[in-house]
Amino acid sequence: MRTLTLSLIMIAALSAQHKDKPTQPNLMERQYTIEKLQMGNVGPVRIVQLYADGFEKLSARERIFTYYLYKSAIAARDIAVDQRHRHALEIRGLLEAVYAQPDGIDPALLQQIVLYTKLFWVNNSQYDNITSRKFVPLFTAEQFAGAVKQAVRNGVQVPLKNGETLDQKLQRLHRSIFDITYEPVQTNKTPGEDMIAGSANNNYEGVTFAEVDAWAKAGNEKYPLNSKVVKENGQLTEKVYRTGNVHLGGTVPAGMYAEDLQSAIGYLEKAKQYASNKQQAENLDKLITFYRTGDPKDWREYNIGWVKETESQVDMIHGFIEVYLDARGAKGQFESVVNFANPELTELFQKVGTNAQYFEDRMPWDAKYRKSDVKPLKYTVINVVVETGDAGPVSAIGINLPNEQDVRELYGSKSVTLYNIVDAYEKTGGKDILKEFAYDEEEMMLSEKYGSLADNMHTALHEVLGHASGKVSPSLTVDPQAALPGYYSTLEEARADLVALYHIWDPKLVEIGIIPNTMEIVKAMYTKEVRNAALVQLQRVPKGHDQLEEDHMKNRQMIVHWLWKNADCIERTTKDGKTYFRVTSYEKMRDGVGRLLAEVQRIKSEGDLAAAKALIDTYGFKIDTALRDEVLARMEKLDRAVYVGFVMPKLEPVTDAKGKVTDVKVVYPLDLGKQMLEYSSFTNEEKAKARAALKLK
């Protein structure tokens, strides 16, 4: 699970100096914001360069290990794009053809195509990742066809299906690009509508929710995370993402995206030679086995090993993991995050995980849902080297994995805060939004003085304690995720947020030296939770929409609106013609947080779908459109971004005379288009090699 709320962690910048310019600016000269993008209701989106300070402090062996993981992450990224929409890769290919060879295209038209292309890259499809709604270009289909044909004349090769002409391809993709009424929602969780038939993502084909639900409950879903469910000859079947192992003498046939996964495997094999310890190398073998078989048992074995391995400086997330894209909450989207630890900050915040049992014993829910044997939970502050697939270019700031409930309960989990992501947010976010939406000077003072620490603690408590806490009822015979289709992700994010809001009061945090006091941090956290959920996040909902689609946004609104209506602790008021929400009683708010948390845990533990639906549909789904319009008007004068897309660091190998990699250096592209074209070129080359290795046509 992920934390998407933006934190502002006030930690001094690292002192590493970089000599090469402009790709290696020193800290005083760095460029973070590269550009801002906006097209109609999409954006504004800030494009920001991400820096990987501390990479040079790793050993040469660790840098080479990181490099091969980095290459593996890029090799399989196209899977996630295809999962977002069945035509997304083809559309991206046309856009990149124009972007790469623009000579002879009208400059004004090219500018509009470049804008649309960059928004497509940031969102990994033609759907906004916040609203889940399709966005369409400002240019016409005829203009685009002319630009594509000009790019072809310039030398670009556009892949075509057998017997298909370029005009036929453009016509086939026309509605997916230009018709905003055609498949308008990528993931549709609107109550009363078919969550599968009404979703444009590529997790299912030709089926309805009722069909899939009955088929899965009958025990037919063998590959819940890494498959696509399709109807063939009237029967539902699974198309599995895997390489198969026939090429190795086995019996498992190749599945979808075998060549992409084989490319990823090739680099994982190389990385194994530089693993920090035997267990880490064995874990990579387990992941490779999973990619070959697709078997969920192999995925479980990998996750168990991954959780247990806690000694290495360099780590990664790699697989079909988060289920936000699937309205059912079953299908995992491919992602990879390659990272290395920040030891100093990790040592400080690991204290939360070390005391996990203390906090579990004080959860406000029924004792039968509490764990009695919580192992110290691993918490790491990391710097990201690359995020691909579902993880980037738009990034979370905190992650807790694995998601599988039984693995969590038996073996624990790992939690991370993505320090350099948060640091980049801080350096580009500005504070004018606080001034606009804080109720008074006291609220602003609390946020300016304690807000960064409060945010940091929110992320730590959310990830380390929140997602890792609690247990399910013995009467629930399936994973809560399966019991709560359409609602699990929202509910689980709410549960983790509520854990943070509840435990920030505990004096234990002062005792173990993480925070200097309790009440000031409580006030800073509570006021921001209310301010962001009730007001600020409404900027992400464009005019013409009256509901929230993204799970983290729904969870935050649900919490604050429930407290507002049921806990007598929040007031909606007007001052100088502007709307504000203010906390009237921190004590009552904490009491309300405890009551709501107890109910949310009960719902999860028992798999109570009716209660989840009532809670989230009532408080988290619909928005006040008049208030949203007011927020947008107040935002117009501010330096705002609805979300951020990151340009990742680039790793370049240093080789000897024989071509062997002896070291790796990091450079910074400062160019989204350049990076995206390099990624696509790399994956296309690797697919060709992988097909030969797999003996595929």
Rounded to whole angstroms, the Cα distance separating 542 from 629 reads: 9
271 within 8 A of 68, measured Cβ to Cβ? yes
Half-sphere exposure in the Cβ direction for 332 (13 Å, CA)? 24
Confidence (pTM): 0.87
The answer to whether residue 153 is domain-embedded is yes
Pairing outcome for strands 398-401 and 378-389? unpaired
Question: 334: left (phi > 0), else alpha (psi -120 to 50), else beta?
Answer: beta
Containing 62, the helix (H) or strand (E) segment is: helix 60-75
Amino acid of residue 607 = G
594 within 8 A of 504, measured Cβ to Cβ? no
Rounded to whole angstroms, the Cα distance separating 403 from 381 reads: 19
The answer to whether residue 190 is domain-embedded is no
Render pLDDT for 633-682 as a digit per residue (tens, 0 to 9).
Answer: 999 889 889 999 999 999 999 999 999 999 999 999 999 999 999 999 98
Do 696 and 627 belong together in one domain? no
Tokens of 358: 């203390």
Which of 311, 328, 330 is closest to 320 using CA atoms?
A: 330
Rounded to whole angstroms, the Cα distance separating 387 from 401 reads: 16
Direct distance between the N- and C-terminal alpha carbons of the chain, in angstroms, rounded to an integer: 38
Confidence at 29, pLDDT banded by 50, 70, 90: confident
Crossing angle between the packed helical segments 107-123 and 141-153, to the nearest 10 degrees: 100
Helix (H, G, I), strand (E, B) or coil at 560: helix
Q: Is the dihedral of CA 37, 40, 43, 44 positive or negative?
A: positive
Domain count, the chain: 3
Confidence at 8, pLDDT banded by 50, 70, 90: very low
Which of 339, 379, 454 is closest to 50 using CA atoms?
A: 339
Scan for tokens 């920090």, then name that residue.
Answer: 276
Do 294 and 357 belong together in one domain? no
Do 242 and 113 belong together in one domain? no
Percent of the chain with pLDDT over 70: 96
Q: Estimate the share of the chain in helix, then strand, then coil, as percent rounded to the nearest 5.
A: 50, 15, 35
Helix (H, G, I), strand (E, B) or coil at 158: coil
Strand runs labelled E in 390-540: 398-401, 414-418
Render pLDDT for 108-163 as a digit per residue (tens, 0 to 9).
Answer: 999 999 999 999 999 999 999 989 999 999 999 999 999 999 999 999 999 999 99
Tokens of 17: 């100096």
Burial 190-211 (b: 16+ CB within 10 A, else e): eeeeebbebbbbbbbeebebeb
Do 323 and 447 belong together in one domain? no
Half-sphere exposure in the Cβ direction for 335 (13 Å, CA)? 25
Which of 472, 308, 293, 322 is closest to 390 using CA atoms?
A: 322
Rounded to whole angstroms, the Cα distance separating 154 from 135 reads: 28
> Which residues 6+ apart lie within 8 Å of 129 measured at CB?
122, 123, 394, 550, 643
Burial 511-541 (b: 16+ CB within 10 A, else e): eeebbeeeebbbbbbbbbbbbbbbbbbbbbb
Containing 278, the helix (H) or strand (E) segment is: helix 278-293
Distance of CA 455 to the CA centre of its chain: 18
pLDDT value of residue 157: 93
Do 524 and 385 belong together in one domain? yes
pLDDT value of residue 127: 97
DSSP state of 246: G
69 within 8 A of 267, measured Cβ to Cβ? yes
Q: Give me the residues paired with residue 205 across strands.
A: 230
The Cβ of residue 25 has, within 10 Å, a number of other Cβ atoms equal to 18
Q: CA dist 18 to 27, 54, 385, 511, 519, Å?
A: 8, 11, 16, 39, 41
Render pLDDT for 494-507 as a digit per residue (tens, 0 to 9).
Answer: 999 999 999 999 99
Do 231 and 242 belong together in one domain? yes
The answer to whether residue 494 is domain-embedded is yes
Q: CA dist 85 to 134, 177, 392, 444, 449, Å?
A: 11, 11, 16, 43, 44
Do 511 and 438 belong together in one domain? yes
Q: Give me the residues paired with residue 35 across strands.
A: 47
Rounded to whole angstroms, the Cα distance separating 202 from 227 reads: 10
Do 50 and 62 belong together in one domain? no
Quick check: 195 pLDDT over 80?
yes
The answer to whether residue 658 is domain-embedded is no
Which of 107, 98, 157, 133 is closest to 550 using CA atoms?
A: 133
303 within 8 A of 15, measured Cβ to Cβ? no
3-state secondary structure 187-222: CCCCCCCCCCCCCCCCCEECCCHHHHHHHHHCCCCC
Render pLDDT for 347-393 as a digit per residue (tens, 0 to 9).
Answer: 877 888 899 999 999 999 999 999 998 877 788 999 999 999 999 99
Can you give the CATH number for the domain in which 262 is found? Answer: 3.30.540.30
pLDDT value of residue 451: 87
Rounded to whole angstroms, the Cα distance separating 393 from 387 reads: 7
The answer to whether residue 652 is domain-embedded is no
Do 356 and 379 belong together in one domain? yes
Confidence at 405, pLDDT banded by 50, 70, 90: confident
pLDDT value of residue 23: 43
Scan for tokens 């009955």, then name that residue.
Answer: 214
The answer to whether residue 445 is domain-embedded is yes
Do 368 and 333 belong together in one domain? no
Do 350 and 317 belong together in one domain? no
Render pLDDT for 429-488 as a digit per residue (tens, 0 to 9).
Answer: 777 889 999 999 999 999 989 988 898 899 889 988 999 899 999 999 998 999 999 999
Confidence at 693, pLDDT banded by 50, 70, 90: confident
592 within 8 A of 566, measured Cβ to Cβ? yes
Domain with 308, as residue range(s), is: 55-75+202-339+670-697
Quick check: 5 pLDDT over 50?
no
Rounded to whole angstroms, the Cα distance separating 288 from 269 reads: 8
Rounded to whole angstroms, the Cα distance separating 512 from 412 reads: 22
Looking at per-residue pLDDT, the higher value among 452 and 693 belongs to 452
Do 286 and 377 belong together in one domain? no
229 within 8 A of 207, measured Cβ to Cβ? yes
Count the residues in the chain: 697
- Kindly give the residue spans of alpha helices, DSSP state H, lying in 124-163: 141-153
The answer to whether residue 654 is domain-embedded is no
The answer to whether residue 440 is domain-embedded is yes
46 within 8 A of 33, measured Cβ to Cβ? yes
